[in-house]
Amino acid sequence: MPNLPANGIRIEYETFGDPTSPPLLLIAGLGGQMIGWDEDLCREWAGKGLYVIRFDNRDAGLSSKMEEAGVPDLAVAMAARAKGEKVAAPYTLDDMADDAVGLLDGLKIGRAHLCGISMGGAIAQTMAFRHPSRVRSLTQVYATTGNPRLPMPKPEILDLLLTPPPPERGAYIEYMIKLYRTIAGPGFPFDEVWHRKLAARSYDRGSYGPGKARQFLAILAQG
């Protein structure tokens, strides 16, 4: 898959469809890779007349890693956030939104439809605030505004999100299945076969726990 320079880093991406069609930028969630946007779904959208772009956020997949920033203590950061204190971070969602704009610049795309999942939805919101002229429409999938008056994620989900993924492949896959299942909830059938394939491919492609922690810190620092 290709990559290009954007906002001072390199972004791995993949496109589907005709570049002259209306562009749809898909933004992954916390610790997620672009392959979480199913390839068949991307091709289906492209077949319906969209130019589909999926990419790895910084600190995930095959995009640049911010290794020099170290691994944050998320418990300390969450305690500070709970007390209303400012959380310091090597980058914030502003930077991640600017990464996405840099990707559009590199692809010579002026305006795009945005679809973000979880943290990706927050990045899409931030992109719309910071760069409204670059946004055709905004679709969010289980994302929030960050308003403290809104409900927080359930404790079991937060616990899983804050737990570093295991380094061993089999344990990593089981951890991800538990996370996927918990996030999915009981409302719809859970496709374990598909999610196992995604977890295995994510591990083989580039699982990166420190990056997930820094992305979480970016969310906390955004306020």
Domain locations in the chain as residue ranges: 3-70+90-150
In this structure, what are the phi and psi dihedrals at residue 24, rounded to the nearest 5 degrees? -125, 115
Tell me phi and psi for residue 55, to 5 degrees.
-155, 160
> Are 111 and 135 contacting, i.e. CB atoms less than 8 angstroms apart?
yes
- 3-70+90-150 belongs to which CATH class? alpha beta
Interval 83-125: pLDDT, tens: 889 999 999 999 999 999 999 999 999 999 999 999 999 999 9
Tell me the C-alpha distance between 126 and 61, whole Å. Answer: 22
pTM passes above 0.75: yes
Check: CB of residue 115 under 8 Å from CB of residue 27: yes
Q: What are the pLDDT tens digits along the chain (223 aa)?
A: 799 999 999 999 999 999 999 999 999 999 999 999 999 999 999 999 999 999 999 999 999 999 999 999 999 998 998 888 999 999 999 999 999 999 999 999 999 999 999 999 999 999 999 999 999 999 999 888 777 777 777 788 888 888 889 999 999 999 999 999 998 889 999 999 999 999 999 999 999 999 999 999 999 998 6
Strand partners, 13: 55
Check: CB of residue 181 under 8 Å from CB of residue 154: no
pLDDT recorded at residue 154? 79
Question: Residue 155: how many CB atoms within 10 A of its CB?
Answer: 8
Closest CA to 161 of 82, 122, 219: 219
- CB count within 10 Å of CB 167 equals 10
